[in-house]
């Protein structure tokens, strides 16, 4: 409905209003215009509807937190670039990620000849590394991967917003991967 009310206002005018007023209503109208485009871009790269929807949410979050830092002239191409880069990062992380929920895949990704002792060592490093994450990341990663809670269940249990939960899980997963890799190099 609100899309029709503001249809006569160009993207450029909405950007100018947002930059002038710093009112997220203007940004919301812009983001709503490009939701389907962004979903299409994310589907193209990620090939999974839920992952694509999550990616669009992350793009929106980045737009809300970052747009005021940049002089953006063409919101459509800026959002497209953010979405594409986010998806490419997701794909890159998937090929190198240390999965908390399926720890045995670590062995398969790097060397199928791992011994039980090496697998056990990696699992121990993960257990230690989870404890080194900051509290929100540790909580969300543990609930999501180890206790198999949904995003909504984590929101209800922790009081974090949905965007915060997704961000904590994503950043926690990346940090966990880095911590485990660092420990593996030391051994």
Q: Where exactly are the structural domains of the chain?
A: 2-96, 105-186
Residue-wise pLDDT tens digits, 91-124? 876 654 444 444 444 444 444 445 666 667 777 7
b/e burial code for range 140-158 (CB count within 10 A of at least 16 → b): bbbbbbeeebebeebbeeb
pLDDT at 51 over 80: yes
- Answer CATH for 105-186 from 3.40.50.720, 2.60.120.10, 1.10.390.10, 1.10.10.10: 1.10.10.10
**DSSP summary character for residue 34:** T
The span from the CA of 49 to the CA of 55, in Å, is 10
pLDDT of 24: 84
Residue-wise pLDDT tens digits, 175-187? 988 888 888 887 6
Same topology, domains 2-96 and 105-186? Answer is: no
Lowest mean pLDDT among 34-38, 39-43, 55-59, 182-186: 182-186
The residue ranking higher by pLDDT, 186 or 162, is: 162
Q: What is the dihedral of CA 147, 152, 158, 163, to 10 degrees?
A: 120
What topology is assigned to 2-96 in CATH?
Rna Polymerase Sigma Factor; Chain: A (1.10.1740)
């Amino acid at each position: 409905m609100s899309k029709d009310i503001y249809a006569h206002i160009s993207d450029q005018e909405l950007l100018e209003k947002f930059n002038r007023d710093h009112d997220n209503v203007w940004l919301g109208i812009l983001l709503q215009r490009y939701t389907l485009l962004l979903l299409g871009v994310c589907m193209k790269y990620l090939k999974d509807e839920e992952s694509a929807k999550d990616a669009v949410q992350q793009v929106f979050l980045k737009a809300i937190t970052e747009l005021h830092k940049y002089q953006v002239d063409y919101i459509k191409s800026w959002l497209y670039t953010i979405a594409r880069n986010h998806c490419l990062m997701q794909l890159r992380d998937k090929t190198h990620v240390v999965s908390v929920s399926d720890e045995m895949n670590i062995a398969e990704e790097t060397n199928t000849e791992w011994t039980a002792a090496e697998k056990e060592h990696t699992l121990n490093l993960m257990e230690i590394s989870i404890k080194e994450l900051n509290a929100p990341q540790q909580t969300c990663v543990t609930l999501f991967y180890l206790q198999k809670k949904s995003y909504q269940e984590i929101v209800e249990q922790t009081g974090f917003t949905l965007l915060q939960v997704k961000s904590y899980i994503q950043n926690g997963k990346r940090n966990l991967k880095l911590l485990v890799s660092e420990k593996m190099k030391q051994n």
